[in-house]
Amino acid sequence: MSQALGLIVDLELAPKNQAADVIINRLDSCGDQLDDEIVEQLLDRFKMIIKDLDSISMEHLKSQIDLKKYGGHETVNLLREDEGALKYKRCLNLVGDAEHLLMMYCLQMVNVTDDKEEWTKVFDEMRFNIFENFFAGPDYRVLEKYKAALYAIAEFDSTDRETKKRVLSSVQSDLRTSKRDSVSLSHVCPELAAKEIVDASLNKLLCLKPGVNVFKFEEKIPIFTDSIRRPAVLSVRLSDGSLRRYIVKRGERVRTHCAAMRLFATVKGGRGTHKGYHVTPLSDDCALIEYLEDHERLRTLIASQYPIDGVVDSLARVKDSELVLAPASALRRFQAACAMVPAHVLRSAVEENSACVEDFIWKKSNFLETLCDMTVFCYLFGKSLVMSLTPIDVSNTTMHI
């Protein structure tokens, strides 16, 4: 592996980050079997390309190398420098509606009261992200009133199933009143509310250009209330005067999303207008997603032609168990919902945003091409989350699914 990596790098046979990923993934199955000499050789090779690795590759490499054992190596020191990003990952992970986040964790735990492994995983995520995050602001501190009751059922074997459900239902019923469409940054994470944060780790997380720093984060954080995950939009004013926005989305396993977008960018290459977007994992169930400016969501486009919000609000979400145990019934409900919306509304919205017939044909072709690409990727990755934020070019600029 060490020789292959060195050859690829020396002869520039492939992009450095892609070559490194192949080696790092190989370590999954043999990392604990390598002797010290081989590990040292690999670390020597990684030293040459470590600046080309993104946060996903860095995290993966750190999980495969014993940092304490090889602490004297320069590559390991570089990996440790990257750990400065952990602070800002924890800060950014707080961006969103705190009450809704706790309610989602409670809902997840209700669904795994018979699974000790999943229960422990979800509870640890809740504890780490809400109750034991020292950067949390007032919106999170007011949730401390639920801490004692929830920590009392932390150990899976300490209480029976009914007790767990009773405690979780009590917390959920108290939190259901939260319907905020925005939150204040200083209330969720005061650390990010400071001006002029000059930190290379934060710049790397935000994928900023060299020499550009964060001047300040905007205080108001809008929430997508029409999404079940309720992602938040974080706006950043940069030192060059520009404004960039990011989506903080939680509630799903984000590693698949990250891997999908990296593979999509590689396979897509220079073909088409859509080159993908950055997805940076902040934790196992939260990601920082590049906000594509001048894009429209499908729902927004359709709503410009038909009151789809009323249709959506009138429908009850199909339970996950129904999708598995009664797929035919779920499919009929989906088809009935589709029948409530005229088939032509998306086409009408695209036509209205087209300058001429030629422009409409181009947007339609681009839409179909991108939709086909992402359909294949959704099938390969076995997840719908790739589709949930995929940009599709059809309006004056582009739009989101």
**Is the pTM higher than 0.85?**
no
Describe the crossing of helices 345-352 and 357-381 by its angle, rounded to 10 degrees.
130
Would residue 90 count as lying in a domain?
no
Same domain, 328 and 244: no
Last residue of a domain, one of 179, 195, 229: 179
pLDDT value of position 236: 94
Closest among 210, 374, 225, 207 to 288, alpha carbons compared = 207
Q: Which residues pair with 288 in a beta bridge?
A: 248, 280
Same domain, 114 and 154: yes
- Interatomic CA distance for residues 239 and 70, integer angstroms: 38
pLDDT of 153 over the 60 cut: yes
Last residue of a domain, one of 179, 210, 242: 179
Same domain, 19 and 58: yes
pLDDT of 100 over the 70 cut: yes
Same domain, 149 and 211: no
- Interatomic CA distance for residues 96 and 140, integer angstroms: 10
pLDDT of 178 over the 70 cut: no
Domain of residue 33, residue span: 2-72
Tell me the pLDDT band of 13, cut-offs 50, 70 and 90.
low
Same domain, 305 and 385: yes
Instruction: Give the pLDDT mean for 283-312.
Output: 82
Would residue 357 count as lying in a domain?
yes
The helices-and-strands tally (H runs, E runs) of the chain is: 21, 10
Number of domains in the chain: 4
pLDDT value of position 16: 57
Instruction: Give the pLDDT mean for 358-385.
Output: 76
Where is mean pLDDT largest: 47-51, 179-183, 235-239?
235-239
Would residue 133 count as lying in a domain?
yes
- Interatomic CA distance for residues 24 and 29, integer angstroms: 10
DSSP per-residue letters across 348-399 = HHHHHT-SSHHHHHHHHHHHHHHHHHHHHHHHHHT-SHHHHT-EE--SSSEE
Location of structure tokens 């938040």: 232
Tell me the pLDDT band of 393, cut-offs 50, 70 and 90.
very low
Q: Which two tokens stand for residue 200?
A: 């290379």
Mean pLDDT (the chain, rounded):
78
CATH of the domain at 262: 3.30.1010.10
Same domain, 269 and 314: no
pLDDT of 14 over the 60 cut: no
Would residue 260 count as lying in a domain?
yes
pLDDT of 225 over the 50 cut: yes
Same domain, 175 and 188: no
Same domain, 300 and 387: yes
Would residue 387 count as lying in a domain?
yes
Would residue 56 count as lying in a domain?
yes
305 DSSP assignment = T
Per-residue model confidence as pLDDT tens digits over 18-76: 666 666 666 665 545 667 777 777 777 777 766 667 666 766 676 666 665 666 677 77
Same domain, 203 and 266: yes
Per-residue model confidence as pLDDT tens digits over 183-195: 999 999 999 987 7
Tell me the pLDDT band of 163, cut-offs 50, 70 and 90.
very high
- Interatomic CA distance for residues 84 and 58, integer angstroms: 13
DSSP per-residue letters across 44-95 = HHHHHHGGG--HHHHHHHHHHS-TTTTTTSHHHHHHHHGGGHHHHHHHHTT-
Tell me the pLDDT band of 135, cut-offs 50, 70 and 90.
very high
Same domain, 285 and 199: yes
Max Cα-Cα span within the chain = 67
Per-residue model confidence as pLDDT tens digits over 240-267: 999 999 999 887 666 666 666 666 666 6
Tell me the pLDDT band of 320, cut-offs 50, 70 and 90.
low
pLDDT value of position 398: 42
What is the Cα 83 distance to its own chain's centre? 19
Q: Which two tokens stand for residue 323?
A: 């999708």
Which residues neighbour 333 within 8 Å (Cβ) at sequence distance 6 or greater? 315, 318
Q: Which residues pair with 214 in a beta bridge?
A: 197, 238
Tell me the pLDDT band of 11, cut-offs 50, 70 and 90.
low
AA identity, residue 210:
P
Would residue 304 count as lying in a domain?
yes
Last residue of a domain, one of 261, 290, 319: 290
Which residues neighbour 177 within 8 Å (Cβ) at sequence distance 6 or greater? none
Same domain, 385 and 308: yes
Same domain, 201 and 268: yes
- Interatomic CA distance for residues 231 and 156, integer angstroms: 30
Let me know the angle formed at the C-alpha of 253 by 100 and 89, rounded to the nearest 5 degrees.
70
Location of structure tokens 């809740």: 126
Would residue 82 count as lying in a domain?
no
